[in-house]
Structures are given as structure tokens and as C-alpha cells.
Amino acid sequence: MDLGITGRKAIVCASSKGLGKGCAMALAENGVAVVINGRDEAALEETASEIAERTGVDVTPIVADVSTAQGQASLLAACPKPDILVNNNGGPPRRDYREIDRDAMIGGVIMNMVTPIELVQKVIGHMTEQKFGRIVNITSASVRQPLAGLDLSSGARAGLTAFLAGVCRTVADKNVTINHLLPGAFDTARLRSGLKGAAAAQGIPEAQMAEARAATIPAGRFGNAGEFGQTCAFLCSAHAGYITGQNVLIDGGAFNGTF
């Protein structure tokens, strides 16, 4: 399918690896010039080269912390008028809610709620003027099904979802959409780190822990960044203008519900 976005420009936050990289790659495969971002310069440059070699599009790597004003300014200096914005950022570490102090709470809310809202504020004017814009926020399946230890992440991302639920409806008539992708268990470095820690705590091999975790998912496996990215690319396409304010759960059927 031709997604109708060849020649468009995108900013993809936190995209040197994992799900962000999957989104950047999928957009580039569909002819979108991408500004990618990360804090690890070596990983970012490697990803930029990989995307450019595979797709032939313009790829601009920006080393920055997207949660800072300086980091956001760097992204927008590289792409002042993006057609597409993919918001992504790391989340707070797993921690018992009783151990989270005020500074940690503020930091988590800045990372997973304030930062994407600030970027939306900065790009949405151009999008509405040109009557095309696609904003996709990578949140988490924990917005739908909270997980113990990820309470701060879940709360901040749910706050982002609620904040933008009203915003998206004020720009829908300008062909600007705002949607959320809610990943479940995807085979990323963060997932592997968690599996490693859990395996060590239980005194079993990591492979055994991974097999047991995958067995709890109806699909019988973890997701991969490539398929996640393709879903993101469709939501950014010319064909998705009638989809807005939605939370798309991608979890292999792990959430056991009808709606």
C-alpha cells in the first residue's frame, strides 16, 4: 500500500533503538525524511547510517535529551516544520510506589507527560495551517492495564492521554490527527533487562524466564520493533485522517478484554 506520505518530514523522538527506531525505519521506508534522536551518539549514528542505507531518504541524527528545552530546540532547528511527530521517551524505572519521592514523581511526569505536550504545542500550528499533520505518542499497555511497580509511568502516560483527548478533537477538521500506540511486551533492550533481573532473582536461566513470559501472551511470542513501526507508519499515512483520539493496543492479545 502506498501510504501517501512520500516527501513528508518527521521528527521521531528516542529513536536510536527499540520501538522509536522501528517507527523511524518504517516512515523512511515510505519516503519520509526523518530526524532521529537519542542520547547515545554512537548508537544514534549507527541507526542513522542503517536507515539511510536501507531507504535512501534524508536522515538527520540529533543527540539530545528530548525532555530538556535545549533538546527540543535542537530537534526543531533540524526540522522546523514537521509533518509528522512521533513522541517517545524512556520511562521511570520499576519501583514500589511507596519509594517514589516528590522529585522522582516530577521527573516521571516531565518525561512521559509534559515533554510530549510541549512538542505538540510547538508543531501543531504549522500542521493546522497546512491542513496535514500526524502525531503519534508511544505510551504503554500499562495505561489500559496498570502494572505494579510502573505506577508512575502509567499515571504520567494516562495523564498525557487524557490531556490530548480534548486537544485532538479541536484540530481534526484541519486533517491533523493525534493517536496513541500502547505497546505490550516487545523484544527490546528494556524488556531483556527486566527478564535478566527477574531470572537472576528466581535463580533460573534468562532463556527460561523469557519462554515463560512469552507463554503468557496469546500470540505466544514477544512483538518486534518492525511490526510496531509499520502500525505507526499507517497512523501517519494519508489514509488515516479519520482516525484520531484513539489508543491502539499492540500486545499480542495479552489484555483480556472486549473493549
Residue 4 included in any domain = no
Whether residues 218 and 163 share a domain: the answer is no
pLDDT computed for residue 92 by the predictor: 87
pLDDT tens string 109-148: 999 999 999 999 999 999 999 999 999 999 999 999 988 8
Residue 2 lies in a domain: no
pLDDT at residue number 189: 87
What's the structural domain count of the chain? 2
Domain identity same for 197 and 236: no
| Grid cell for residue 233 | 507508519
pLDDT for res 91: 86
193/71 same-domain check = no
Same domain for 53 and 87? yes
DSSP string, 47-104: HHHHHHHHH-S-EEEEE--TTSHHHHHHHHHH-SS-SEEEE----PPP--GGG--HHH
Contact between 237 and 4 (Cβ < 8 Å): yes
- Given a cut of 70, the residues of the chain with pLDDT beneath it are none
- pLDDT on residue 194: 85
Please check whether residue 258 lies inside any domain of the structure.
no
Specify whether 38 is located in the same domain as 153.
Answer: yes
User: 179: how many CB neighbours lie within 10 A of its CB?
Assistant: 20
Residue whose grid cell is 492495564: 145
Kindly state the helix (H) or strand (E) to which residue 160 belongs, with its residue range.
helix 151-171
Is there a single domain that holds both residue 96 and residue 202?
no
Helix (H, G, I), strand (E, B) or coil at 173: helix
Which CA distances in Å does 188 have to 35, 84, 179, 195, 225? 21, 24, 22, 11, 8
Residue 97 lies in a domain: yes
Same domain, 61 and 120: yes
Same domain, 209 and 240: no
Residue with the three cell numbers 503468557: 216
Q: Let me know whether 149 and 46 are in one domain.
A: yes
**All residues at 6 or more sequence positions from 58 whose CB lies less than 8 Å from its CB, including other chains:** 33, 34, 52
Residues 53 and 151 in one domain: yes
In the chain, the amino acid numbered 228 is: F
Is 1 a member of any domain? Answer: no
Say if residue 30 is in the same domain as residue 42.
yes
Same domain, 43 and 160: yes
Instruction: Determine the structural domain holding residue 129 and report its residue range.
Output: 9-186+223-250
- pLDDT for residue 61: 98
CATH of the domain at 59: 3.40.50.720
**Backbone CA torsion sign across 171, 91, 57, 54:** negative
